[in-house]
Amino acid sequence: MRSKLYPSEYLALLTVKYEVDADKFFDALVSAEKKRKTKCGTLSIEYRTKLNRNVIFLITQNSKVVAQFKIPETFLQKKKNPIKEAKNTYLENRYATKKNGDTHHLQIKDLRVGMKKVNLKAKVIEISKPKYVVTKFGNHASVANATVSDPTGRIKLCLWNDQINQITVGDTIQIENARISAYRNERQMRIGKNGKLQTTPTSKT
């Protein structure tokens, strides 16, 4: 799997991209484990092997490889389809963002890996000591991780260079146009060059 994504979220994004029903897709995975190969819409799902209680699948479309990933055996044993739940949340949030424009703010509990153009208000509860790194372009940069929270949860916010000094612990911040990725199986927010990070007027007491 694009390894660092959560199974339900990654598979939900596949159902959106390839326009397949989440229930049929989940049933096809369960069937493929038993029958070795099944189809779901235009996708072919093939069971490859089992390793350390994880099942490895290969998905193709017209002989083109779509994805190869592993999911825990317990994932396929769930009575409630986890792919459908993740897909519904993803579509609801995408619709809400389009409907409300840039002023719509999501909650941390609703953030999913792969989301883009995310707006969020949160409180800074921790900032790590900056580290100096060399980027893939050969540039030197400072990077630090902040932990931010709202009433629904916590998430790490990756800060680069000048962003590190823009906020302090205790600030309430507003983030615009961020994206959600994963690092070591943990959700993380990143603010691109078109994003914004600022403290709110009421952030300090």
Render 141-184 in DSSP notation, one character per residue.
EEEEEEEEEETTEEEEEEEEGGGGGG--TT-EEEEEEEEEEEET
The sign one gets for the Cα dihedral 154, 155, 160, 163 is negative
In this structure, are strands 118-127 and 172-183 parallel, antiparallel, or unpaired? antiparallel
Q: What is the mean pLDDT of residues 144-164?
A: 91
Token pair, residue 132, equals: 């100096």
Residue 51 backbone dihedrals phi, psi, to 5 degrees: -140, 120
pLDDT of residue 118: 87
**15 — pLDDT class (breaks 50, 70, 90):** confident
CATH class label, 105-199: mainly beta
pLDDT of residue 92: 58
Percent of the chain scoring above 70 in pLDDT: 87
Range list for CATH 2.40.50.140 in the chain: 105-199
Q: What pTM did the predictor assign?
A: 0.51
Distance of CA 91 to the CA centre of its chain: 13
Q: What is the mean pLDDT of residues 100-105?
A: 54
Mean pLDDT value across the chain: 83
